[in-house]
Chain A
Amino acid sequence: MNYSIIRNILGHVIRFEGIFMTIPILIAFLYREPSGMYFALCALGCILAGTLMVRKEVCNKSFFAKEGFVSVSLCWIVMSLIGALPFILSGAIPSFTDALFEIVSGFTTTGASILRDVESLPKCILFWRSFSHWIGGMGVLVFILAVLPLSGNSQIYLISAESPGPRFGKLVPKLQKTAFVLYAIYFGMTVIEVLLLLLGGMSLFDSLCTSFGTAGTGGFGIYNDSAGSYSPYLQNVITVFMVMFGVNFNFYFLILIRQFRNAFKMEEVRWYLIIFALATILITANLTITYGDLGYHLHHTAFQVASIMTTTGFSTVNFNDWPNFARTIMILLMFIGACAGSTGGGIKVSRFLIYLKTLRKELSVMIHPRSVKIIQSDGKAIEHETVRSVNIFLIAYILIYAISVLLVSFDNFDMVTNFTAIAATINNIGPGLELVGPASNFSIFSDFSKYVLVFDMLAGRLEIFPMLILFAPGTWKK
């Protein structure tokens, strides 16, 4: 294990977190809030510590997959620990566990909160919560790669460990340019959403926070009723952008370089949209048959479905009160999640496509024992290694899921609460059902359960393997 290069990368991450923290200082200054002081303190400390760590010479530049996984997971843990400091220092969230839970929920774009009343918080704290979504959505290491020429040629390990999806595909030959293009698309779409929200009469602060939450598919609301009090126009804008941020970013890149045909040939994006449409239609039908009023239900169903499927977690109505059929569809959507290569979480549509294709292949092999079939996506063969790792991913996912449900059950809540609480955190969604439904929050859990959920959020965001590798004994052996 090459510790010196991991230290160097950590240094970069800490320094950039310091730089990111200067933006809440600005907000605090504008709204004349004393809490800004704590951000200034943290930012200063981060920049100093980070610079010191980066300055120290890297003696060994060898960097491989192992270092990539370990540094990504360590970065996320350290980043969360530091990010929690302003909450604790300012007294907004005095408990360390709660503060950590909140910021991990932010960085992993989960959006699950332990706060009962967010409206009473200082603006700079609210901003930091939402901004953490934006940082975590595309990944902080991707950001660093986009702006800093890091030494060595092995950053592909970093970016592929941090980007969601079964495999990371470069957009352009240069990795740094790929990272830059990704962030440019991300930034551009965020700006467009802010402008559209401003057009709808939202204040600049609100539209920034809401856009960060949408872009990162995070879902921290700045009002107690999440997005419920916004006008239908604003809610529709948010719906559309939630869906858009759940699309594989390669799609936008192909559009930008005018390869429209290839863009619309992307199987994953097509199925993502089909699933979205199908779920919306089914739930709308279910609600309309039960309660009537098609227009109203279509509007809100589209919002809720987009929010859950892209793993954002905003809500306009309390879907916990929906009939069971609709609720079950929502739970299924939680697991499917968004596209690979987007900012969303979940198991990802592309993985499900591979699962279904593997299943079909397996059945075909049973009928024709000697048949040979290569699994393809977008007309290209998926190599056996990828299929295997995707299959193992599911096993690891189920294992962690089961253990988490078991550990959380100590708190003695009902099964639906426990089950959906894990689903909501490991898939980076936010709200679950029953006690953790959209109208409730996660403050009911014990500290122990919260740590379990924190682990689940990180494991879900980094797609399990980078977190598990920290616990593998072989990782730390010389």
Chain B
Amino acid sequence: MNIIIAGCGKVGLTLGEQLVAENHEVTFIDSSQEKLQKVVGMLDVQVLLGNCTVYSTLREAGIEHADLFIAVTNSDEINLLSCLIAKKAANCHTVARVRNPEYNEDIQFIKSELGLSLTINPEWASAVEIARLIQIPSAMEANSFAGNHVNMIRFVIPENSILNNMKIADIGHKYSNKILVCVIERNHEILIPSGDIILKSGDSISVIIPLASVNHICTEIGIDTKPIKNVTIAGGGTISYYLAKLLIRMNVSVKIIELDRKRCEELSSLLPKALIINGDATDSQLLAEEGVSETDAFVALTGFDEENLLLSLHTHKISKAKNIIKINRINFDEVIGELNVGSVIYPKNITTEFITQYVRAMENSMGNSVETLYKLMENKVEALEFKVKDTPGITGIQLQDLELKKNLIICCINRHEKIITPTGRDMILEGDSVIVVTTHLGLKNLCDILI
């Protein structure tokens, strides 16, 4: 497909990387020569210097032949305006990043009136993900499918857990097929498990567990699942605001530490129920005074990745709180994974996942479209949710008779809101949605699961 991306900041770059890897023709528009030069050095793309809200610039970028226009500059207004112009100029699909909380309130109106195909608010999406992690305290990572009906959570198997030395096939028996292990990470190696793999303590596993029994099962496995009642957030940015709003709705008490006095006042009037502290979150004295050692969860959302890392290491040392940090910029995923920093949220990845999932769905709007896409384990694994249409060769055939790719697992079939953990005798039917976990990146169609 021909794709134009306006703005090559962090998100634009990550997105470009992903789309180029999936064999799309990408053109970048940006007003900074410096940034464009960097892109040219990194990716096989076309670049154009100019203002993306100017019609002639868009035409020069080839808007007439573009299938998709994605606006991810750092200004909402520019994104919306350029999408509007692109839509009028070429009637292509348009995607805009909109992050102002005030626009977020009536995003549906903006979307339909401006004819946008998709809007993405990375801050909001990140906050939702963090809130989910707080809701399931045992999870290091939590992703939801099928409209929140199915949850895939990731945790590390503790020592002395009953899972230690257990065969995957036995887990199914023990929990009457309620939980399913989808991915195992052992010594930086990714395993898509088959029935006879034996779990070890220290393995990081992603499992599908029904939300209702998460806490119950986790306790049995030996993971601490004390519900989180109070949360300390370092940094008072937009994510913090969204997160606090979500948490207050969940009856969790929220404390936000923010350096800028004016922002504190703003937050206080936006979030009357939250406790807003004006101070430097990296001041250990202040953290002690505000009782960080007793907080249930600590979320580091300051504007500096390094600060977030340090803060999280610090809280890990002085408290038992669940740690969640945001990483915006730095690219040391593997190193960060080794540190004891708890869960890590990458807003730019969330944006990329969201848009990629849309792009893949667009590509085969005829076939079985991708509904949801998550990238797991430092982007080495993809979990996809497909909407199933009548596909000869797949639908109506027992799973044990399908010749599936290696390192691919069908985790879940969602049939009319009923969640089925599939066994060899189950079948995929038309109208289902299925969740597939695999190390084969870039699946676009359900047919791709076959060899």
Chain A residues with a Cβ under 8 A of chain B: 364, 368-374, 376, 379-381
Contacts and interface: CB of A to CB of B under 8 A. Distances in A.
Nearest to B280: A370
A368 B269 CA distance: 18
A369 B289 CA distance: 9
A302 B272 CA distance: 35
Contacts of B275: 364, 368, 371, 373
9 contacts: A364-B275, A368-B277, A368-B290, A370-B286, A371-B278, A372-B267, A374-B265, A374-B272, A380-B269
Contact of A370 (B265, B267, B268, B279): B279
A260 B279 CA distance: 41
Contacts of A364: 275
B23 to A, nearest CB: 51
B381 to A, nearest CB: 43
B276 interface: yes
A376 B269 CA distance: 7
Contacts of B289: 369
B261 interface: yes
Q: Which of A368, A379, A381 has the most CB of B within 10 A?
A: A368
Contacts of A380: 269
B277 A376 contact: no
Contact of B268 (A369, A374, A379): A374
Contacts of A381: 269
B95 interface: no
Given A370-B286, A371-B277, A372-B276, 19 more contacts: A368-B275, A368-B277, A368-B290, A370-B277, A370-B278, A370-B279, A371-B275, A371-B276, A372-B264, A372-B268, A372-B278, A373-B276, A374-B265, A374-B269, A374-B272, A376-B269, A379-B272, A380-B269, A381-B269
Contacts, number: 33
Nearest to A382: B269
Contacts of B269: 374, 376, 380-381
Contacts of B265: 372, 374
Interface in B98-146: none
A412 B276 CA distance: 54
Interface string B284-296: 0010011000000
A248 B92 CA distance: 54
Interface string B242-279: 00000000000000000001001101110010011111
**Chain A to chain B: the 9 pairs with minimum beta-carbon distance, closest first:** A372-B264, A381-B269, A374-B268, A374-B269, A372-B276, A370-B279, A372-B278, A370-B278, A371-B277
Given A368-B275, A368-B277, A373 B268 contact: yes
A325 B296 CA distance: 46
A270 to B, nearest CB: 16
Contacts of B279: 370
Contacts of B267: 372
Nearest to B271: A374
Nearest to B264: A372
Q: Which of A368, A372, A373, A374 has the most CB of B within 10 A?
A: A372
A133 B368 CA distance: 77
Contacts of B290: 368
A380 B289 CA distance: 30
A381 B278 CA distance: 18
A86 B118 CA distance: 76
A379 B269 CA distance: 8
A25 B171 CA distance: 98
Contacts of B268: 372-374
Nearest to A357: B272
Contacts of B276: 371-373
Contacts of A379: 272
